Amino acid sequence: MDDRRNMFPHAIRAVREIAPKAFLFENVKGLLRESFSNYYQYIIHQLTYPEMQRRPGEEWGDHASRLEKAFTKGSKAGLKYNVIYQLMNAADFGVPQQRQRVLIVGIRSDIGVQFSFPQSTHEQDGLLFDKWVTGEYWDRHNIPKNKRPLAPPGSKRRISNLRSLLPGMMLPAWKTVRDAISDLPEIAPGASCATFANHFCNPGARSYPGHTGSPYDEPAKALKAGDHGVPGGENTLRFDDDTVRYFSVRECARLQTFPDDWVFEGSWTESMRQLGNAVPVKMCEVVANQLMQQLTSAGSVVHG
């Protein structure tokens, strides 16, 4: 509640003032930590009853208690939303990045629309299958057999089970860093590319304990909102010899599934901050499309 970055009071105010037929919010996985559970439920209850505002001088815990009573009673006049949330991994929706985020959907109760989150469109087993059963992944990227790495020891049993399956018996493969950026010109630290906007590479990348960069043939680790220190250690590409370089701004945009004509303005630091805080486009496109379909199938008109 005391964190200056806490925008939920303003999000709740916006819902109260606009009274949209539906809303979709995204935030970090940490919202679901056990130590945060009381305040998170407070957020959900406020989104359920946005007109039940905090009184002047009222502690948030007392406000939470009033909301809990309304929530358990289940009936209250005024604006109300049916709110559900789900932890989602962007890699499961075609994003070349393992980015787990909480998505919160609310639908105004008076329009009678039910919502369910979409099922995954991509899966890790598909990538394991394409790499270690058919070899299609390496073939597609023109990697000769003598240059292909060995399967990770910890995945051998899982791969063995996949050998009994046929192509098409699972979802499409997770997308990897190579899938996302291999068609971009390779750049050395300190160099830039005139062909693609924002494609330049800052020097000075390094690894930190637990923040060793992203391997080329897996989905990237979650990008962080920073360019140096531990955040910078997460925003790097790790090569087979364990050396690292920073991802360029354009490469990070690819990892967040922004189109190439989306140009980031400002300094390196500002661009990396924007990208680290951004929502993966493809993941939220899938959720937003499902929300739109369920609203329109019920005959509800969506404004704005």
Q: 75 and 156 share a domain?
A: no
Residues 63 and 148 reside in one and the same domain: no
pLDDT digits over 121-162, tens only? Answer: 999 999 999 999 999 999 999 999 999 999 988 888 899 999
Residues 29 and 112 in one domain: yes
Domain presence at residue 269: no
Length of the chain: 304
Which of 212, 122, 235 minimizes the C-alpha distance to 176? Answer: 122
Angle at 288 between CA 266 and CA 128, to 5 degrees: 85
pLDDT tens readout for residues 251-299: 999 999 999 999 999 888 999 999 999 999 999 999 999 999 999 987 7
Q: For residue 254, what pLDDT is reported?
A: 98
Domain boundary, last residue among 111, 142, 173: 173
pTM score over 0.85: yes
User: Is it the case that residue 236 has pLDDT exceeding 50?
Assistant: yes
Residues 134 and 43 in one domain: no
- Could you tell me if residue 73 is inside a domain? yes
- Give the integer Cα–Cα distance in Å for 280 and 276: 10
With respect to residue 84, please indicate whether it lies within any of the assigned structural domains: yes
pLDDT per residue over 152-194, tens digit each? 888 888 999 999 988 888 999 999 999 999 999 998 888 889 8
185 part of a folded domain: no
The gap from C-alpha 107 to its chain's centroid, in whole angstroms, comes to 22
Both 106 and 65 in one domain: the answer is yes
- Same-domain status, 72 and 159: no
Is 304 a residue whose pLDDT tops 50? no
Contact 154, 132 (CB under 8 A): no
Q: How many folded domains does the chain comprise? A: 2
Same domain, 105 and 129: no
**Is the domain of 29 the same as that of 100?**
yes
Indicate whether 62 and 27 sit together in one domain. yes
Euclidean distance between CA atoms 115 and 84, whole angstroms: 8
What is the dihedral sign for C-alpha 235, 239, 245, 248? Answer: negative
Regarding whether 66 and 83 lie in a shared domain, the answer is: yes
Q: Which amino acid is at 222?
A: A
Rounded mean pLDDT, 42-57:
96
Domain-embedded: residue 293: yes
Query: Residue 169 belongs to what domain range?
Result: 123-173
Q: Residue 92: pLDDT above 70?
A: yes
Are both 46 and 15 inside the same structural domain? yes
Going from the C-alpha of 261 to that of each of 253, 257, 258, the distances in angstroms are 10, 12, 8
Please say if the pLDDT value at position 219 is more than 60.
Answer: yes
User: In terms of domains, do 42 and 141 share one?
Assistant: no
